A and B are shown apart, each in its own frame.
Chain A
Amino acid sequence: MAASPSRPGAFHAFTAFALPACFLPALLFCAAGLYFALIASPPDARQGETVRIMYVHVPAAWGAMLVYAALGLTALAGFAWKHVLADVFCAAAAPVGAVLAALCLVTGSLWGKPMWGAWWVWDARLTSMLFLFFLYVGAIALRGAFAHAARGAQASRILLVLGLVNLPIVKFSVDWWNTLHQGESLLRDGGPAIAPEMLWPLALTAAGGFFLCAGLILMRMETLILRSAAR
């Protein structure tokens, strides 16, 4: 059990192995992905060079949703099993998710100006990503709002569970309200509607972003454990 991540004491042995195992693929995938995205892939027939924003924008959007799902499920599991690391994960991953959501919004805005002619439109996906960002900020703010750290941690986790239930409803209701964003291009019947020479760089940057975020979250978790041990 020396390398098991399930006990805080054994966590350092785990990160000693896991951090290089995350950052090395992150470096490789990001470097290869950026090369293909910026140099070796063709500009889009209609969108021109601006399509290259996609290689950052889409992985950021996926990452923001994936991190929130992981946060909500970990918070829920934390209530069921009261595992110490569940709370450390929630504390460590929330800022990473918030940055991903912000990155998605900023790159989307930069992409929207040349394509749609506006920095911001009240489209369904933009709005639900904005609300996802607000939820991240709320969970981070709530954690720091109490003099008693354990109370803040618990309140933040309850909010994450509430958001986990509420987020699909926000997504659905906003879709019902208004849709302008382009439809699903990747996971749909009849295969991806995206050229293979663009799909490969996207897959590479997405994989790179995934490993980068996993490494950053693990590094933050280790820092938080060390900081609480130092007190």
Chain B
Amino acid sequence: MSAFCALLLRDFRLLPRRRTEIFLPLLFAFLVVSLFPLALGPDAAGLKNLAPGLLCIAALLTQFLGLERLFADDAESGALDLVALSPLPLSLYALSRMLARGAAQGLPLVLAAPILALMLNMDAEKIPALMAALALVSLCVTLAGGAVAALTLGARGGGGVALPLLLAPLCAPVLIFGSTLAAQGFGTQEGRQAVLYLGSLFFLYLALGPALGAAALRSAVEAS
């Protein structure tokens, strides 16, 4: 357990040195959001209706960004082999990488969500629900995506092409409940249902993602 904390702490300490890994995804999210009005038209009422879904898609795509590198650096430097030999379970190693990544790429977007929401003319009272939705969507996608990143580790072409193809179908429930929550807010029955479903999905992926990711990492270490 102390090894797990040490790994997590190391990742968080390294964050200030990896500023591009924090700001580039945020910039990417802003770019995606500013591209939508160009394609859909600047009509404020229309954008207001589409905004919850658009922001959830932006959060989803932001999490896809650079996901194939999640374990690749450790695999290339040999750190992954050392972790596999150590008494630390691979699932805890995978969990620490996923959590650090979720914090680095998800949190800035959640904090920037009010600005993005106002750019798309969303109602101010829906913003807390939007932030909760974006946080849960980012976490779920990171946990499921981490497992898929471990699966494609060492694939031809670095797994960058195969990863979105494998991950997108798995993300459908998260996107459905996330955008429902963001659109309905906490005040409605549908919104409350959606936040409960989204929370249970988070716990499901918390249980499944690191475990399956560890199985995939084990086979990647054995194959190399």
The residue in chain B whose Cβ has the minimal distance to the Cβ of A136 is B169
Q: A169–B201 contact, CB under 8 A?
A: yes
Q: B156–A146 contact, CB under 8 A?
A: yes
* A interface with B by C-beta (< 8 Å): 79, 127, 131, 134-135, 137-138, 141-142, 145-148, 150-151, 154-155, 158-159, 161-163, 165-166, 169-170, 172-174, 176-177
What B residues does A169 contact at CB under 8 A? 173, 201, 204
Instruction: State in angstroms the CA–CA spacing of A172 and B201 once bound together.
Output: 12
Instruction: Given A142-B152, A151-B154, A151-B219, check contact A135 B162 (CB 8 Å).
Output: no
Q: B170–A173 contact, CB under 8 A?
A: no
B170 partner, pick from A145, A147, A162, beta carbons under 8 A: A162
What A residues does B168 contact at CB under 8 A? 134
Q: B223–A148 contact, CB under 8 A?
A: yes
List 14 A–B pairs whose Cβ atoms lie within 8 Å, in order of A's numbering. A141-B166, A142-B155, A146-B223, A151-B223, A155-B152, A158-B147, A159-B148, A162-B148, A165-B204, A169-B201, A170-B173, A172-B173, A174-B176, A176-B197
Q: A145–B155 contact, CB under 8 A?
A: yes
Say how far B32's CB is from chain A's closest CB, in angstroms: 22
What A residues does B201 contact at CB under 8 A? 169
Instruction: State in angstroms the CA–CA spacing of A177 and B134 once bound together.
Output: 19
Chain B interface residue number, banded: 20 to 34
Most buried by B among A79, A131, A150: A131
The residue in chain B whose Cβ has the minimal distance to the Cβ of A166 is B170
What A residues does B170 contact at CB under 8 A? 162-163, 166
B154 partner, pick from A131, A146, A161, beta carbons under 8 A: A146
* B interface with A by C-beta (< 8 Å): 144, 147-148, 151-152, 154-157, 159, 162, 165-166, 168-170, 172-173, 176-177, 180, 197, 201, 204, 208, 212, 215-216, 219-220, 223
What B residues does A170 contact at CB under 8 A? 169, 172-173
Taking A146-B154, A155-B151, A169-B173 as given, write out 4 further A-B residue pairs in contact, using a Cβ cutoff of 8 Å, ordered by the A residue number: A141-B166, A161-B212, A163-B170, A174-B172
Say how far B206's CB is from chain A's closest CB, in angstroms: 13
B169 partner, pick from A79, A134, A173, beta carbons under 8 A: A134
What A residues does B219 contact at CB under 8 A? 150-151, 154-155, 158
What B residues does A158 contact at CB under 8 A? 147, 151, 212, 215-216, 219
Instruction: State in angstroms the CA–CA spacing of A158 and B91 once bound together.
Output: 14
Instruction: State in angstroms the CA–CA spacing of A172 and B173 once bound together.
Output: 8
Q: B172–A173 contact, CB under 8 A?
A: yes
Instruction: State in angstroms the CA–CA spacing of A145 and B223 once bound together.
Output: 14
What A residues does B166 contact at CB under 8 A? 138, 141-142, 159
What A residues does B155 contact at CB under 8 A? 142, 145-146, 155
Instruction: State in angstroms the CA–CA spacing of A134 and B170 once bound together.
Output: 10
What B residues does A150 contact at CB under 8 A? 219, 223
The residue in chain A whose Cβ has the minimal distance to the Cβ of B200 is A169
Say how far B170's CB is from chain A's closest CB, in angstroms: 5
Instruction: Given A131-B172, A134-B168, A155-B216, check contact A141 B154 (CB 8 Å).
Output: no
Q: A173–B177 contact, CB under 8 A?
A: yes
Q: B220–A151 contact, CB under 8 A?
A: yes
Q: A145–B173 contact, CB under 8 A?
A: no
What B residues does A173 contact at CB under 8 A? 172-173, 176-177, 197
Instruction: State in angstroms the CA–CA spacing of A135 and B201 once bound together.
Output: 19
The 8 closest A-B pairs by CB, nearest first: A173-B173, A151-B223, A145-B155, A134-B169, A154-B219, A138-B166, A131-B169, A155-B151
What B residues does A176 contact at CB under 8 A? 176, 197
Say how far A78's CB is from chain B's closest CB, in angstroms: 12
Instruction: State in angstroms the CA–CA spacing of A161 and B170 once bound together.
Output: 12
What B residues does A146 contact at CB under 8 A? 154-156, 223
Say how far A174's CB is from chain B's closest CB, in angstroms: 7
